[in-house]
Homo-oligomer: A and B are copies of this chain.
Amino acid sequence: MVTAPIMSACETCVVRNRAICSALDTQEINALNQLGRRRAVTAGEPLIWEDDDSLLVANVIEGVLKLTTSTEDGREQIVGVAYPSDFIGRPFGHTTKASVVALTDARVCVFARSDFDRFAKEHPELEHKLLERTLAELDRTRSWMMLLGRKTAAEKIATFLLEMSDRLSDNVGCQVFPGPRPRFTLPFSRQQVADVLGLTIETVSRQFTRLKSEGVIELPSRREVEIIDRAALVGQAG
């Protein structure tokens, strides 16, 4: 569903100071605001299709989205996860190679790619923020390659749970109770965890069960995880 742009919506935006928009002053952000619109995406709903013309870019305001690529025969790999204040889409390019689908209900701030490209080129500070963000994302993606190429299933799961506990400890909308026993709600189903880690759903399930029986984690419900023994996870993360 689509809502009409709200005057000065940016000024009260919860990610105003963390997203790339933080590079802009009030006047500039009002100009950018004219180009974009807010959009709600419900869990499971796609925002961008793989191999589409790259028509949209967006900032995540609230919620979690997945970036995926697939083979023709249906195998899927999650190649990125976007949290609030993250930028999604492919500026300065012609096609995207990844689909973007909401994992939770989400709100995003979308722009036509061509509008955004033009605006960005005129605002070097914005491009600089985007560059820093892209470089950081590349770092993160590369360390994930290490995991996919060289880690065992047990190491993958341990690494994943530690990353989740870090990533979700901010205001991501997935209830977190920080402290010695971090507890959080996964934005992923078991199948999606498998798609992140390059495993099957059965292997993910077995590893979760093993960690639970070893007393390393607790699983209060399907989506909830409580880390009982963080040191053990670190030890198993490879």
CB-CB under 8 A for A127 and B135, given A150-B198, A238-B71 = no
Per the CB 8 Å criterion, the residue count for chain A at the interface is 41
Pick the contact of A128: B67, B127, B136 (CB < 8 A): B127
CB-CB under 8 A for A138 and B137, given A130-B131, A146-B69 = yes
**Shortest Cβ distance from residue A48 to the other chain B in the assembled complex, whole angstroms:** 14
- Main SS at interface, chain A: helix
Q: Check A132 for interface membership: any CB of B closer than 8 A.
A: yes
CB-CB under 8 A for A77 and B127, given A93-B139, A97-B139, A238-B71 = no
Chain B residues whose C-beta falls within 8 Å of the C-beta of A124 in the assembled complex: 124, 127-128
Question: Using a CB–CB distance below 8 Å, which chain A residues touch chain B?
Answer: 67, 69, 71, 73, 75-77, 79-80, 90-93, 97-98, 121, 124, 127-128, 130-132, 134-139, 141-146, 148-151, 197-198, 238
